[in-house]
Amino acid sequence: MGSAPAIDPKIFSAYDVRGIYPTDLNDDAAYQIGRAMVQYLRVQEVAVGRDMRMSSPALAAALINGITDQGADAIDLGLTTTDELYFAVGKFGYPAGVMVTASHNPGKYNGLKMCRADAVAISSETGGNAIRDIATSGNFIQPQHKGRVVTRDVTDDYVQHALSFVDVSKILPYKVAIDAGNGMAGMIIPRVFMHLPCTLVPMYFELDGSFPNHPASPIEPENTEELRRVVVEQHCDMGVAFDGDADRMFLISEKGQLLGGDMVTALVSENLLRRAPGSTILYNLICSRSVPEVIAANGGHAVRTRVGHSFIKAQMREYNAIFGGEHSGHFYFRDNWYADSGLIAFLIVLELVSQSGKTVSELLKPIDTRFRSGEVNSEVREQKAKIAELERYYSAQGAQIDYLDGITVSFPTWWANIRPSNTEPLLRLNVEADTRGEMEQKRDELLRLIRQS
């Protein structure tokens, strides 16, 4: 075979393929990755979904060409959310799937999220590096025949699947503002609300990969400012912001308050445990202490995990956990092939609020009692040495210390986690305390220790 066009190996990260189009990630790379995926996984079919980015049709077409040239059939799902792609792979028994998306990144970026059967995500350790090596080498085995392209729309099937997590007859006619950020939620949310008694206040539902209004990254508070204002001005019962590929969801209370992913984890847990008492629920170690308290108070078994979907999904399978939540707005469901779905999380909260007879902020009041710093990053070259220094400092003060992910130092009224970034020379700090004054004092003390050379 002739030599394949060069691929920049930097586009392969721990969890996906990501880069600026077409300088980092281009059609040639997508074609070769399609071939490499079929060759490595030895599959006969690959489901392909794509988001609304300007470059997604071209990348998806190149990817599909690579899949079929390597002898497998490509199931072209067209425009989908990422959670819809995972659903399709799980529900219809496809042996592999790829989503063309760069999630919450700006419009010039694009990427590929790959999974195998049962929607098991492919990370660098579980096949991503091998696919990278085949794609960059261009050493493809010539197949016996070319695969076919089969088009399929699974959106209505996915909507019905998401609605199956709740009893729609119990949902009250609330007014809900939803900011799709010109992302894929704009396609799926209207089809969900056709089945709900609620009034939808839509914001930026036009699919537009140039993101003309604001970045589709609701984890940054400035990107939900307008939604928070609309919720209050239009007397909505709640607001919801989705990211670009609509797999993450952020909730706004009727008072315009942005909830952390950990508080949403607590609310979802409360509702799920009503239906399945005694179940195991996972939460990552950045979540508030309130999360395991709520799980225990509702008769569940709480398990603390590292940050990152590959860890959570693996442990969910191990514990047969019904649900897992992260502070970052990722919510995973056992009955959704352990994949994350912001849509399912939203519906479960909507049902909880309906059945409780309380507002979102009334439900939050007894559980959201502590103060959190949010994640603060510091550039640190010698990460291990700095973590060891912090360990010595807080050990001398009598801290309980664990090493699940970086280090967590725990005291009766506050805790902090310091963990290294996987991809950059950064230390990430999260602090929680029972009072705002103590949280701010400990946050500033830790930042001083972290940043001093």
Distance CA 407, CA 404 (A): 7
Active site residues: 103
The answer to whether 209 touches 301, Cβ cutoff 8 Å, is: no
What 3 state SS string does 99-122 have?
EECCCCCCCCEEEEEEEEHHHEEC
Give Cβ neighbours of residue 373 (< 8 Å, ≥ 6 apart): 429, 430, 431, 432, 439, 440, 443
Distance CA 190, CA 167 (A): 19
Residue 401: how many CB atoms within 10 A of its CB?
Answer: 12
The answer to whether 114 touches 97, Cβ cutoff 8 Å, is: yes
CA dihedral (363, 368, 369, 374) in degrees, to 10, reads -170
Distance CA 309, CA 447 (A): 27
The two structure tokens encoding residue 53:
């980015």
- Beta-bridge partners for 199: 175
Q: Count H helices, E strands: the chain?
A: 14, 21
Residue type, 281: I
Write the DSSP assignment of 203-246 as a string of letters: ES-S--TT-SSS-S-TTSGGGGHHHHHHHHHTT-SEEEEE-TTS
Q: DSSP class of residue 308? A: S
Closest CA to 172 of 343, 357, 344: 357
Distance CA 100, CA 102 (A): 7
CA dihedral (336, 341, 347, 351) in degrees, to 10, reads 60
Distance CA 338, CA 349 (A): 18
Pairing of strands 73-79, 149-151: parallel
Distance CA 337, CA 119 (A): 6
The two structure tokens encoding residue 201:
């206040």
The answer to whether 54 touches 78, Cβ cutoff 8 Å, is: no
